[in-house]
Amino acid sequence: MRINPHELHVSDPDFYDELYTSGARKRNKHWWSADMFGVPGAMISTVPHDIHRRLRAPIAPFFSQQAIRKFDPVIREKLEIMYTRFEEYRGTGQPVNIEDAYNALTNDIISEYCFGLSHGCLDMPNFNNEWAPLLMGSSENSLLHKQIPWITGLMRNLPLPLLLKIEPRIWNFVRLQEVCNPRIPPHSRSLHQLEHRDED
Protein backbone atom coordinates (compact mmCIF):
# COMPACT_ATOMS: atom_id res chain seq x y z
CA MET A 1 0.00 0.00 0.00
CA ARG A 2 1.46 3.40 -0.97
CA ILE A 3 1.15 5.80 1.97
CA ASN A 4 2.86 8.77 0.30
CA PRO A 5 4.79 9.48 -2.92
CA HIS A 6 8.03 8.11 -1.40
CA GLU A 7 6.98 5.27 0.91
CA LEU A 8 5.18 1.93 0.82
CA HIS A 9 3.53 0.12 3.71
CA VAL A 10 4.34 -3.59 3.40
CA SER A 11 2.62 -6.39 5.30
CA ASP A 12 4.04 -9.50 3.66
CA PRO A 13 6.61 -11.86 5.26
CA ASP A 14 7.84 -12.91 1.81
CA PHE A 15 9.00 -9.33 1.24
CA TYR A 16 11.28 -9.32 4.29
CA ASP A 17 14.51 -10.15 2.45
CA GLU A 18 13.79 -7.52 -0.16
CA LEU A 19 13.07 -4.88 2.47
CA TYR A 20 15.96 -5.72 4.84
CA THR A 21 18.81 -6.35 2.41
CA SER A 22 22.47 -7.04 3.05
CA GLY A 23 25.09 -4.33 2.98
CA ALA A 24 25.95 -5.18 -0.61
CA ARG A 25 22.83 -3.37 -1.83
CA LYS A 26 23.21 0.33 -1.15
CA ARG A 27 20.17 2.31 -0.08
CA ASN A 28 20.34 5.92 1.03
CA LYS A 29 17.66 7.21 3.37
CA HIS A 30 15.37 10.12 2.59
CA TRP A 31 16.73 13.10 4.54
CA TRP A 32 13.27 14.14 5.76
CA SER A 33 12.60 10.63 7.04
CA ALA A 34 16.04 10.00 8.57
CA ASP A 35 15.74 13.00 10.87
CA MET A 36 12.36 12.02 12.29
CA PHE A 37 13.83 11.72 15.81
CA GLY A 38 15.32 15.20 15.65
CA VAL A 39 18.93 14.12 16.28
CA PRO A 40 20.91 15.29 13.23
CA GLY A 41 24.40 13.84 13.09
CA ALA A 42 23.44 10.63 14.89
CA MET A 43 23.85 7.27 13.21
CA ILE A 44 20.08 6.78 12.93
CA SER A 45 19.82 10.11 11.08
CA THR A 46 22.65 9.45 8.61
CA VAL A 47 21.44 9.57 5.02
CA PRO A 48 24.36 8.22 2.88
CA HIS A 49 24.60 4.43 2.94
CA ASP A 50 28.41 4.24 3.10
CA ILE A 51 28.73 6.76 5.95
CA HIS A 52 26.00 4.97 7.92
CA ARG A 53 27.94 1.71 7.59
CA ARG A 54 31.13 3.37 8.84
CA LEU A 55 29.34 4.86 11.84
CA ARG A 56 27.73 1.51 12.63
CA ALA A 57 30.93 -0.53 12.29
CA PRO A 58 32.42 0.29 15.75
CA ILE A 59 29.32 -0.93 17.63
CA ALA A 60 28.63 -4.02 15.48
CA PRO A 61 30.91 -6.35 17.53
CA PHE A 62 28.96 -5.53 20.69
CA PHE A 63 25.88 -7.19 19.19
CA SER A 64 27.51 -10.37 17.96
CA GLN A 65 26.34 -13.72 19.32
CA GLN A 66 29.62 -14.13 21.19
CA ALA A 67 29.31 -10.76 22.91
CA ILE A 68 25.71 -11.41 23.99
CA ARG A 69 26.65 -14.85 25.35
CA LYS A 70 29.30 -13.24 27.56
CA PHE A 71 26.55 -11.02 28.96
CA ASP A 72 24.38 -14.04 29.82
CA PRO A 73 25.09 -13.91 33.61
CA VAL A 74 23.70 -10.38 33.81
CA ILE A 75 20.61 -11.40 31.84
CA ARG A 76 20.05 -14.29 34.26
CA GLU A 77 20.50 -11.93 37.21
CA LYS A 78 17.74 -9.67 35.86
CA LEU A 79 15.50 -12.68 35.34
CA GLU A 80 16.03 -13.65 38.99
CA ILE A 81 14.97 -10.16 40.07
CA MET A 82 11.82 -10.43 37.97
CA TYR A 83 11.09 -13.86 39.43
CA THR A 84 11.48 -12.45 42.95
CA ARG A 85 9.04 -9.67 42.14
CA PHE A 86 6.54 -12.23 40.85
CA GLU A 87 6.85 -14.08 44.15
CA GLU A 88 6.13 -10.84 46.01
CA TYR A 89 2.98 -10.32 43.93
CA ARG A 90 1.85 -13.88 44.63
CA GLY A 91 1.96 -13.11 48.31
CA THR A 92 -0.36 -10.12 47.91
CA GLY A 93 -2.88 -11.66 45.53
CA GLN A 94 -2.59 -8.64 43.22
CA PRO A 95 -2.46 -9.26 39.47
CA VAL A 96 0.83 -8.77 37.59
CA ASN A 97 0.90 -6.89 34.30
CA ILE A 98 3.25 -9.14 32.33
CA GLU A 99 3.82 -6.53 29.62
CA ASP A 100 5.05 -4.02 32.21
CA ALA A 101 7.31 -6.65 33.77
CA TYR A 102 8.91 -7.61 30.46
CA ASN A 103 9.33 -3.96 29.49
CA ALA A 104 11.16 -3.40 32.78
CA LEU A 105 13.27 -6.50 32.18
CA THR A 106 14.41 -5.42 28.72
CA ASN A 107 15.02 -1.86 29.91
CA ASP A 108 17.26 -3.00 32.77
CA ILE A 109 19.16 -5.46 30.57
CA ILE A 110 19.78 -2.97 27.76
CA SER A 111 20.75 -0.11 30.07
CA GLU A 112 23.19 -2.39 31.89
CA TYR A 113 24.71 -3.56 28.63
CA CYS A 114 25.01 -0.15 26.99
CA PHE A 115 25.91 2.04 29.97
CA GLY A 116 27.17 -0.33 32.66
CA LEU A 117 24.30 0.39 35.01
CA SER A 118 20.71 -0.65 35.35
CA HIS A 119 17.78 1.77 35.50
CA GLY A 120 16.27 -0.47 38.16
CA CYS A 121 12.81 -0.61 36.59
CA LEU A 122 12.33 -4.15 37.86
CA ASP A 123 12.59 -2.89 41.44
CA MET A 124 10.21 0.05 41.00
CA PRO A 125 6.50 -0.01 41.89
CA ASN A 126 4.45 -1.45 39.03
CA PHE A 127 7.73 -2.06 37.17
CA ASN A 128 7.96 1.67 36.29
CA ASN A 129 5.00 1.17 33.96
CA GLU A 130 5.08 4.80 32.78
CA TRP A 131 8.29 4.22 30.82
CA ALA A 132 6.99 2.07 27.94
CA PRO A 133 4.04 4.37 27.03
CA LEU A 134 6.45 7.29 27.01
CA LEU A 135 8.74 5.48 24.56
CA MET A 136 5.78 4.58 22.38
CA GLY A 137 4.60 8.17 22.47
CA SER A 138 8.05 9.38 21.42
CA SER A 139 8.03 6.94 18.54
CA GLU A 140 4.62 8.17 17.42
CA ASN A 141 5.75 11.79 17.77
CA SER A 142 8.64 11.06 15.43
CA LEU A 143 6.09 10.65 12.64
CA LEU A 144 4.79 14.12 13.42
CA HIS A 145 8.36 15.46 13.36
CA LYS A 146 8.71 14.27 9.76
CA GLN A 147 5.83 16.53 8.79
CA ILE A 148 6.40 19.46 11.19
CA PRO A 149 10.10 19.30 12.19
CA TRP A 150 10.13 22.54 14.18
CA ILE A 151 7.84 21.05 16.85
CA THR A 152 10.68 18.94 18.29
CA GLY A 153 12.94 21.98 18.64
CA LEU A 154 10.14 23.88 20.34
CA MET A 155 9.55 21.13 22.89
CA ARG A 156 13.27 20.84 23.66
CA ASN A 157 13.52 24.57 24.33
CA LEU A 158 10.65 24.63 26.83
CA PRO A 159 11.71 25.08 30.48
CA LEU A 160 11.82 21.72 32.23
CA PRO A 161 9.19 22.62 34.90
CA LEU A 162 6.73 23.55 32.14
CA LEU A 163 7.54 20.42 30.17
CA LEU A 164 6.93 18.27 33.25
CA LYS A 165 3.52 19.90 33.69
CA ILE A 166 2.63 19.10 30.08
CA GLU A 167 3.95 15.54 30.31
CA PRO A 168 4.88 14.38 33.85
CA ARG A 169 6.25 11.06 32.58
CA ILE A 170 9.08 12.95 30.86
CA TRP A 171 11.04 12.62 34.11
CA ASN A 172 12.07 9.17 32.84
CA PHE A 173 13.91 10.81 29.94
CA VAL A 174 15.44 13.45 32.21
CA ARG A 175 16.67 10.75 34.56
CA LEU A 176 18.01 8.71 31.64
CA GLN A 177 19.98 11.66 30.26
CA GLU A 178 21.41 12.62 33.65
CA VAL A 179 22.71 9.09 34.15
CA CYS A 180 23.84 8.27 30.61
CA ASN A 181 25.28 11.53 29.24
CA PRO A 182 28.42 11.44 31.44
CA ARG A 183 29.07 7.89 30.20
CA ILE A 184 28.92 8.75 26.49
CA PRO A 185 32.36 9.83 25.21
CA PRO A 186 32.54 12.79 22.82
CA HIS A 187 32.64 11.83 19.16
CA SER A 188 36.19 11.50 17.90
CA ARG A 189 35.00 12.15 14.38
CA SER A 190 31.87 14.04 13.43
CA LEU A 191 29.51 13.21 10.61
CA HIS A 192 30.59 16.44 8.90
CA GLN A 193 34.22 15.29 8.96
CA LEU A 194 33.31 11.96 7.42
CA GLU A 195 31.36 13.64 4.64
CA HIS A 196 34.20 16.13 4.05
CA ARG A 197 36.75 13.34 3.81
CA ASP A 198 34.65 11.65 1.14
CA GLU A 199 34.83 14.81 -0.95
CA ASP A 200 38.66 14.92 -0.83
Residue predicted with more confidence, 84 or 11:
84
Residue 1 clears pLDDT 50, i.e. is over it? yes
- With respect to residue 173, please indicate whether it lies within any of the assigned structural domains: yes
Q: What is the pLDDT of residue 33?
A: 76
Least confident range of 38-42, 126-130, 155-159, 171-175: 171-175
Q: What is the pLDDT of residue 22?
A: 67
Residues 114 and 134 in one domain: no
What whole-number distance in Å separates Cα of residue 104 and Cα of residue 82? 9
Residue 190 clears pLDDT 50, i.e. is over it? no
- Mean pLDDT across the chain: 79
- With respect to residue 99, please indicate whether it lies within any of the assigned structural domains: yes
Query: With contact defined as beta carbons under 8 Å apart, do 149 and 38 qualify?
Result: yes
Residue 73 clears pLDDT 90, i.e. is over it? yes
Confidence class for position 200, pLDDT limits 50, 70, 90: very low
Residues 88 and 124 in one domain: yes
Query: With contact defined as beta carbons under 8 Å apart, do 178 and 38 qualify?
Result: no
Q: What is the pLDDT of residue 69?
A: 92
Residue 44 clears pLDDT 50, i.e. is over it? yes
- With respect to residue 41, please indicate whether it lies within any of the assigned structural domains: no
Residues 117 and 137 in one domain: no
pTM metric for this prediction: 0.67
Q: Which tens digit of pLDDT belongs to each residue from 143-189? A: 777 777 777 777 778 887 887 787 777 766 776 677 667 767 665 44
Distances, alpha carbon 96 to alpha carbons 31, 108, 118, 122, in Å: 43, 18, 22, 12
Residues 91 and 110 in one domain: yes
- Percent helix, strand, coil in the chain (nearest 5)? 70, 0, 30
Q: What is the pLDDT of residue 83?
A: 94
Residues 109 and 141 in one domain: no
Residues 107 and 137 in one domain: no
Residues 172 and 144 in one domain: yes
Residue 101 clears pLDDT 80, i.e. is over it? yes
Alpha-carbon torsion (85, 87, 91, 96), positive or negative: positive
**Number of domains, the chain:** 2
The whole domain housing 77 covers 71-128
Residue 76 clears pLDDT 90, i.e. is over it? yes
- With respect to residue 58, please indicate whether it lies within any of the assigned structural domains: no
Confidence class for position 23, pLDDT limits 50, 70, 90: low
**Helices and strands in the chain, H and E counts:** 11, 2
Residues 171 and 134 in one domain: yes
In this prediction, what percent of the chain has a pLDDT beyond 90?
18
Q: What is the pLDDT of residue 165?
A: 81
Number of neighbouring beta carbons within 10 Å of residue 101? 19
What whole-number distance in Å separates Cα of residue 143 and Cα of residue 84? 38
